[in-house]
Structure 1
């Protein structure tokens, strides 16, 4: 409810839990479309109805692995490239897309012919009163994870100030 309440795109929030979940599904569908518009690789949304969202399957017979599940097979340069890509995603969404993912971490990045960012249900626009908090959380999560992998990272608070002061 908290994520939806602050999103100006939602408008009236239904009291009925079923309708609230339908609004959540519609929101994730639109977030995926918006991310694609700003050149973020995500599962392509196909259709939604009520509480069901159909999107592109990422993988072959099995789902693509999460970054968290394959990190032991990666080298430092892989982590450096992924860090650069994800910071670029955060910047692009914030500066050009007026949007923030809100839960970006090693658990929400699939590796399949490059990184694919998943789980867009909590993503929101900059006008949401929670957007600054979510932006800082994304930067902190990404920076801390890659620092633990030996990547030379920028201080997330410095990056945060750089993004919000522009």
Structure 2
């Protein structure tokens, strides 16, 4: 099922796994999903990212905007389910190696 409809026994572990996937996608594949949310993740024992067709390379002019949106979407989903989430800026900075301050 889509993540939004899945029964998740350990949401904090799934959240952390998705954060690792975002980092791996950005730093190893040099891609940003661009539309990551609970609708584009399937879940059965662990998460599977789908709909990668709209992904962009890291050098795309809006890649960093898309990355931040992806992080916000995942944080929003897990926060609504009572999971402690990291600051979107902390995640963004860790993934990109930048030092963007929260407004």
* TM-score (norm. length: structure 2): 0.85
1:159 equivalent to 2:91? Answer yes
Q: Which stretch shows the higher mean deviation, 124-133 or 94-103?
A: 94-103
* TM-score (norm. length: structure 1): 0.55
Structure 1 residues 113 and 94: CA distance shift in structure 2, 3 A: same
Higher RCO (CA < 8 A, seq sep 6+): 2
Matched residue, 2:8: 74
1:97 equivalent to 2:29? Answer yes
Q: 2:74 aligns with which of 112, 123, 142?
A: 142
- Alignment map for 1:44-55 (pairs within 5 Å): none
Q: What are the ranges of 5 or more consecutive residues in structure 1 without an aligned counterpart?
A: 1-64
Q: 2:61 aligns with which of 119, 129, 136?
A: 129
> Between Structure 1 and Structure 2, how many residues are aligned?
98
In the alignment, the residues of structure 2 paired with residue 100 and residue 82 of structure 1 have an alpha-carbon distance, to the nearest angstrom, of 19
Higher Rg of the two aligned structures: 1
Deviations for 1:104-150, whole angstroms, at most 9, x for unmatched residues?
A: 11111112342211111210110100100110011111111111111
Q: What are the ranges of 5 or more consecutive residues in structure 2 without an aligned counterpart?
A: 99-103
Moved over 6 A (4+): none
In the alignment, the residues of structure 1 paired with residue 50 and residue 95 of structure 2 have an alpha-carbon distance, to the nearest angstrom, of 23
